[in-house]
Amino acid sequence: MSILLESKELSKTFVVSNSQENHILKSVNLTIEKGEFVSVMGPSGSGKSTLLYNISGMDRMTSGSVVLNGQEISALSEQELADVRLKKMGFIFQHIHLLKNLNIIDNIVLSAYMNNSTSRAQVNERALQLMKRTGIAELANNDITQASGGQLQRVAICRALINKPEIVFGDEPTGALNSKSASEIMDILADINDEGTTILLVTHDVKVAAKSERILFMLDGNIVAEQRLGKYTRGGGDDIKARETKLARWLMEMGF
Ligand SMILES: Nc1ncnc2c1ncn2[C@@H]1O[C@H](COP(=O)(O)OP(=O)(O)OP(=O)(O)O)[C@@H](O)[C@H]1O
């Protein structure tokens, strides 16, 4: 295994007013291997989303460094960073940011058209493949208002994967879904990870995190512990209940 993403002494301070600074990330050292599926858990306000936004270059860290596949992204200009995000990263959020004036397939292909490295015909073909994979092919030309929350999250997954990213970041990607849809979305993410895409999620949900390979526990701006469950293999006789129980026990020990 080789390292895909690494933060060193990553810190983030929000200046709230002239007299108040909030130190939210406190020298976070984190290493994600190529092909790993990692979830970040921890109490509300511990800095999980802030970590995700800063390690992915969506927000600017206050100090420290982040290296993606050998490239120091903390040193990039806004334009270079936008290019790295477009070409090398995919994002899935709880509240799906889809464009209401575009239909479903156009939402998926938009960033690939912007990327300009592949012909539109190839992009459209890849979008259709992804939609088939995630079970929404028949919705391609529908308006986004005609899809359920679970279907929209599948659209968001297709959109995140359209540029063949090296890593997909998810902030509570199943947070707005019922448990059946959440479980289906996690199975899709586990399959995508099986095919080689690295995934880093933030989640509160034990059932979600139990399908990841390694779980980090964040407390007060730093990662204080980790639990390795190993790869979750769907259909491979893997006992998901046993994984959930092991994780829940560990979280209880952490006082969560
Ligand atoms: N733009 C900002 N300006 C000031 N403070 C912020 C900003 N963004 C986040 N914070 C603060 O940083 C802290 C950590 O927030 P963050 O969203 O990273 O936590 P979290 O662990 O993801 O929480 P949750 O589980 O509730 O989503 C919170 O106290 C929050 O108020």
Q: Is 17 in the pocket of ligand 1 (CB under 6 A)?
A: no
In order, the DSSP letters of the chain are: --EEEEEEEEEEEEEEETTEEEEEEEEEEEEEETT-EEEEE--TTSSHHHHHHHHTTSS--SEEEEEETTEEGGG--HHHHHHHHHHHEEEEESS----TTSBHHHHHHHHHHHH-SS-HHHHHHHHHHHHHHTT-GGGTTSBGGGS-HHHHHHHHHHHHHTT--SEEEEESTTTTS-HHHHHHHHHHHHHHHHTT-EEEEE-S-HHHHTTSSEEEEEETTEEEEEEE-----TTTT--HHHHHHHHHHHHHHTT-
Domains of the chain are 3-92+167-253 (3.40.50.300)
Question: Could you tell me what percent of the chain has a pLDDT over 70?
Answer: 98
Q: How far is the CA of 117 from the centre of ligand 1 (A)?
A: 36
The predicted pLDDT at position 12 comes to 98
Q: Ligand 1: which atom is nearest the Cα of residue 50?
A: 18
Q: Which of 12, 14, 61 to mutate to test the pocket of ligand 1 (most atoms within 8 A of CB)?
A: 14
The model's pLDDT over 64-119, given as tens digits with 9 standing for 90+, comes to: 999 999 999 988 999 999 999 999 999 998 777 889 899 999 999 998 998 777 88
User: Is residue 141's pLDDT more than 90?
Assistant: yes
The predicted pLDDT at position 77 comes to 94
The model's pLDDT over 214-245, given as tens digits with 9 standing for 90+, comes to: 999 999 999 999 999 999 987 656 688 999 99
Q: Is 45 in the pocket of ligand 1 (CB under 6 A)?
A: yes
pTM: 0.93
ipTM above 0.85, yes or no: yes
The model's pLDDT over 160-219, given as tens digits with 9 standing for 90+, comes to: 999 999 999 999 988 888 888 888 888 889 989 998 999 999 999 999 999 999 999 999
